[in-house]
Amino acid sequence: MTSAGTPATEALRAAEVAFTMHAYAHDPRATSYGLEAAEALGVDPDRVFKTLMIEADGSLAVVVVPVSGTVDLKAAASALGAKRAQLADPAAAQRATGYVLGGISPIGQKRRHRTVIDETAELWESVLVSGGRRGLDVELSPRDLIDLTQGIVAAVGR
């Protein structure tokens, strides 16, 4: 599938990482972007990961967890060596990543942020994350996701 591309797909191409794009019709009324993607693509929600921006001791960071659950902020803070963490302000997350909510990808952000990926990603041969816009996910190996984001793997989902 060819597309105009997003910063995420361009970063994947530039890194020569094997990936598959999965586009779907985004419903603006959807309450959960990640669960919408899993359902639209017919993929186990434990294999589809959402990208959340958090603020850990005053610095923005990325946490990637399955769409079937939530982030454990205490565990995320610990993985980052921080005392505490909270979800980032949505406007700050959009400014820092260059993506809109529901389309924030852990790949190809405006600048690199420390990233923590839930350990369950390693249970799968491939995982799906946002491709950089609503209605687009990219499928890649967990190892490539970890390498590209220089991610820390930890138990941060619940």
pLDDT classification of 1: cutoffs 50, 70, 90: very low
How many other CB atoms are there within 10 angstroms of residue 70's CB atom?
13
C-alpha closest to that of 84 among 108, 58, 109: 58
pLDDT at 4: 64
pLDDT at residue 98 tops 50: yes
pLDDT at 102: 87
Inside any domain, residue 1? no
C-alpha closest to that of 52 among 125, 120, 130: 130
Domain count, the chain: 1
pLDDT digits (tens, 9 = 90+) for 23-35: 999 888 887 888 8
Instruction: Extract the tokens encoding 68.
Output: 């079937």
DSSP 123: G
Inside any domain, residue 132? yes
Inside any domain, residue 88? yes
pLDDT at 33: 85
DSSP line for 13-34 = HHTT---EEEE----TT-S-HH
pLDDT at 2: 43
CATH number of the domain to which 86 belongs: 3.90.960.10
Range of the domain at 85: 7-154
Inside any domain, residue 29? yes
Inside any domain, residue 2? no
Instruction: Over range 14-19, report the average pLDDT.
Output: 95
pLDDT digits (tens, 9 = 90+) for 38-90: 889 999 999 999 999 999 999 999 999 999 999 999 999 999 999 999 999 99
| Mean per-residue pLDDT of the chain | 93
pLDDT at residue 154 tops 90: yes
- The rounded distance, in Å, linking the Cα atoms of 3 and 124 is 26
pLDDT at 96: 94
